[in-house]
Amino acid sequence: MEKMTRRTFLKASAIMAAIFTTGFLQKFSFKSIIETAEAKAIQIKEKTMEIKFIERSFFQRLFGTPATPKAETTDSWTYAGGKLSIDLAKAPQLKKPGGALRFEGGDLPERVLVIYGNDKTYRAFKNRCTHIGHRRLDPVPGTHTVQCCSVNKSTYDVDGNKIYGPAPKPITPYPAELKGDRLVVKIF
């Protein structure tokens, strides 16, 4: 076992105290409590190390100005039957790894953020932070995260789970499927 940090010791002590006061101490060993606390501390440290912030001015964050561009033309996409269909030939930002576009307006019932990741995987999200619902999301370059454009910088992983900030809930990911030269995003 590695050297225990003060933080890990305090967490383990708190867990042990909670278990002792609830009468379940006989089911757990001190070693398992310490190992659980250390594993949790490592997990938190790993998530914290992944978080980067998009360079933006205070006023850009205050007013919620997104960094991701909006689809330039509405003829690059259509929405029907619960599906957003994007013509990739008319959306060059989604051909380069790390690229992203916002889709809004028209008949689209929700704002949608579409990302073409560095891993060459398309991902789509409901483009609405769960902390401040009208704020949009942006991909954070060089990471597998998206971040709210507000001052609080709520950050989510590619599965939509919150990993940083005050957001109370995860964001909604949408399934995205490549069909020839079109990307189809199912919105529910």
Together in a domain, 26 and 106: no
Which of 47-61, 95-109, 138-152 shows the lowest per-residue confidence on average (mean pLDDT)?
47-61
Per-residue confidence (pLDDT) for residue 16, from 0 to 100: 61
Residues with Cβ within 8 Å of 134's Cβ and at least 6 positions away in sequence, in order, are 64, 128
Check whether 49 has a pLDDT greater than 70.
no
The phi, psi pair for 59, rounded to 5°, reads -70, -35
Check whether 177 has a pLDDT greater than 70.
yes
Which of 24-33, 79-88, 108-117 shows the lowest per-residue confidence on average (mean pLDDT)?
24-33
pTM here?
Answer: 0.71
Query: Mean of the pLDDT values across residues 40-63?
Result: 69
Measuring CA to CA, how many Å separate 147 from each of 93, 131, 161, 184?
19, 11, 11, 23
Domain of 166 in residue numbering reads as 58-186
Query: Mean of the pLDDT values across residues 174-184?
Result: 97
Kindly state the tokens that stand for 107. 């008949």
Per-residue confidence (pLDDT) for residue 44, from 0 to 100: 52
Q: How many domains does the chain have?
A: 2
| 136 in any annotated domain | yes
CATH number, domain with residue 67: 2.102.10.10
What's the whole-number average pLDDT of the chain?
Answer: 83
Together in a domain, 158 and 67: yes
| 1 in any annotated domain | no
Check whether 32 has a pLDDT greater than 60.
no
Together in a domain, 164 and 81: yes
Kindly state the tokens that stand for 79. 């929405």
What confidence tens digit (pLDDT) does each residue in 121-164 have?
999 999 999 987 789 999 999 889 999 988 888 999 999 999 99
Length of the chain (residues): 188
Check whether 31 has a pLDDT greater than 60.
no
The better pLDDT of the pair 184, 131 is held by 184
- What residues pair up with 138 in beta bridges, in sequence order? 147
* pLDDT band at 169; cut points 50, 70, 90: very high
CA–CA dist 5, 40 (Å, integer):
13
Together in a domain, 82 and 143: yes
Query: Mean of the pLDDT values across residues 65-88?
Result: 92
